[in-house]
Amino acid sequence: MIAVDTNILVRYAVNDDPEQAFLAATFLNENHCFVQHTVLLETVWVLGAKSTYNMPKEEILGWIRRILGLPNVTTQDEAAVAKALEWYEAGMDFADALHFATSHGLVGFATFDRRMRNKATQLNAPQTLIFIGKELH
């Protein structure tokens, strides 16, 4: 199995360099590829950043699901990644969703991030989020 870099996934998704997009697609189809959490996180960031591709969330989700659905592509903790994508689709920041989803089996996930806490509560996340910030009154 070969770990792939963010640039391969981005070229595959955006096809802004046809030669590299072709090479990326060929590589992903002909090799057993592994997408690390860090690469997945960076790919979502690159695709969505205003300074790069500014892709809408729905399009990002479509590409990530397409890539992870390729027969030769696997990722770390597929169940946690699926949950993170579900929470991202429901409005949680993807980085927060991935951090939180991969914290299963631990006592909890501690944060100062009030928005993350509120979204996790709204989504009835089974993991324990430990909010250590001050409550607003």
* pLDDT, tens digit, 9 for 90 and up, residues 105-120: 888 888 888 888 888 8
pTM value > 0.85: yes
Query: What pLDDT score was predicted for residue 18?
Result: 94
Contacts of 106 (CB under 8 A, 6+ apart): 127
Helix ranges (H only) for the chain are 6-14, 18-30, 37-48, 57-68, 78-89, 94-101, 114-122
pLDDT of 45 reads 96
Report the distance separating Cα 92 and Cα 107, nearest Å.
Answer: 21
> In the predicted model, is pLDDT for residue 26 greater than 90?
yes
Rounded mean pLDDT of 49-55?
94
Give me the mean pLDDT over the 77-82 stretch.
94
